[in-house]
Amino acid sequence: MTNAHTGDHALEPGFDHTVTTVVNGVPCELPVAAGMSLLDALREHLRLRGTKKGCNQGACGACTVHVDGRRVLSCLTLAVQCDGREVTTIEGLAGPGETLHPMQAAFVAADGFQCGYCTPGQVMSAVALLAEGHGGSDEEIREWMSGNLCRCGAYNGILSAIKAVRDSGTGDTDA
């Protein structure tokens, strides 16, 4: 197996579990501590800083990623739970080269962000929402995006972006 990711803590004591996973299409074996969150493994271990740490307690959605195509809060997910599973972060959502995922492009077009801190989590949730079939109405979208908070109040742009992708039928899967 190709081990493109080896992490920065391979030799440190306490990292006594090995997680075999695929992150953004790259197979890897990660030495992790038993209590390490997926969020910390991604940000501090693999240096994938696109996934944001907001509240670190499951209340803001900034840390949303996909595990086997389903959205999860990576701050509440143990890294060891991802053994044998496939993880997609915002860095892995785009297509080859500089091609944005349709949801990313729609967020840009609809002004679906201001400071951008919540945006990776918003985009990951939005892609999952459409894949789950929860994009039927404005109310349904707002309800199923309610776990993703935006301190800048960019909710109208986020809603517009999701509807644009829904109506185009292009954005309900990972790249």
Instruction: List residues binding ligand FES (CB under 6 A).
Output: 53-56, 58-63, 73, 75, 113-119, 150-152, 154
Distance in Å, CB of 37 to ligand FES, minimum: 9
Rg (CA), the chain: 16
Comparing CA positions, the residue from 93, 153, 86 lying closest to residue 126 is 93
Contact 37, 76 (CB under 8 A): yes
Q: Smaller CB distance to ligand FES: residue 26 or 149?
A: 149
Distance CA(61)–CA(145), nearest Å, equals 9
Q: Smaller CB distance to ligand FES: residue 25 or 153?
A: 153
Q: Smaller CB distance to ligand FES: residue 90 or 154?
A: 154
Sequence letter at residue 146: S
Distance in Å, CB of 14 to ligand FES, minimum: 23
Distance in Å, CB of 50 to ligand FES, minimum: 13
Q: Smaller CB distance to ligand FES: residue 31 or 36?
A: 36
6-21 CB burial, b ≥16 within 10 A, e <16: ebebeeeeebebebeb
